[in-house]
Amino acid sequence: MFLSSQKTYLRALEPDDLDFLYALENDTAVWHIGNTVAPYAKYVLAQYLQNAGQDIYTARQLRFVICSKSHQAVGAIDIFDFEPLHQRAGIGIVIDGPHRGNGHAAEALDLLLHYCRHTLQLHQVYCTVTAGNTASIKLFQKCGFAEVGVRRDWLKTPEGWEDAHEFQRLL
């Protein structure tokens, strides 16, 4: 497989992913991470899937489905704000609840970093992680990202304001 590791592989979005994406995008537990406050309709996601094959240089983003070796979709990993002139992009990752803590995120991130470095020839990638998301903070640190700043009171949550940590990795 193109982007494959010991127990995880990345693949392009397929039309059959509609129900998986619908469940993933409408998981209210992770809405605050992606600045979402409303559910996605299946119709909107179906249109997104129709256009998901656009070239990254046109769309400026790319999403992969994270799969287990048993071919089960367990999450998604995104490249966004792709900037070819400055050779950088943002990275986002989400793992479906039942599959968290199984090592898929770390393997998927390593695979994506390899793709960013060797295929897209990026110089750097970055991400934003909420202060309370300690699992993601540990993940990005483990994968060589350095914290480069904190945005104070950046995200409004039902419990109050939350800081956002900015991470960067030079490739």
Span 25-60, pLDDT tens digits: 887 777 666 666 677 888 788 888 877 878 899 889
Q: Please tell me the predicted confidence (pLDDT) of residue 44.
A: 82
pLDDT tens-place string over residues 122-136:
999 999 999 999 999
pLDDT in tens, 74-132: 999 999 999 999 999 999 999 998 899 999 999 999 999 999 999 999 999 999 999 99
Structure confidence at residue 1 (pLDDT)? 61
Q: What is the pLDDT of residue 33?
A: 66
State the chain's mean pLDDT as an integer. Answer: 91
Q: Match 């990795």 to its residue by tokens.
A: 169
β-strand pairing of 62-68 with 73-83:
antiparallel
Superfamily of domain 3-170: Gcn5-related N-acetyltransferase (GNAT) (3.40.630.30)
What value does the CA radius of gyration of the chain take, rounded to a whole number of Å? 16
Pick the more confident residue, 8 or 157.
8
Separation CA 135–CA 142 (nearest Å): 10
Q: Where are the beta strands (DSSP E) in the chain?
A: 3-4, 8-12, 62-68, 73-83, 88-95, 124-130, 146-157, 160-170
Q: Residue 39's pLDDT is what?
A: 77
Domain residue extents for the chain: 3-170
Mean pLDDT across the stretch 139-164? 94
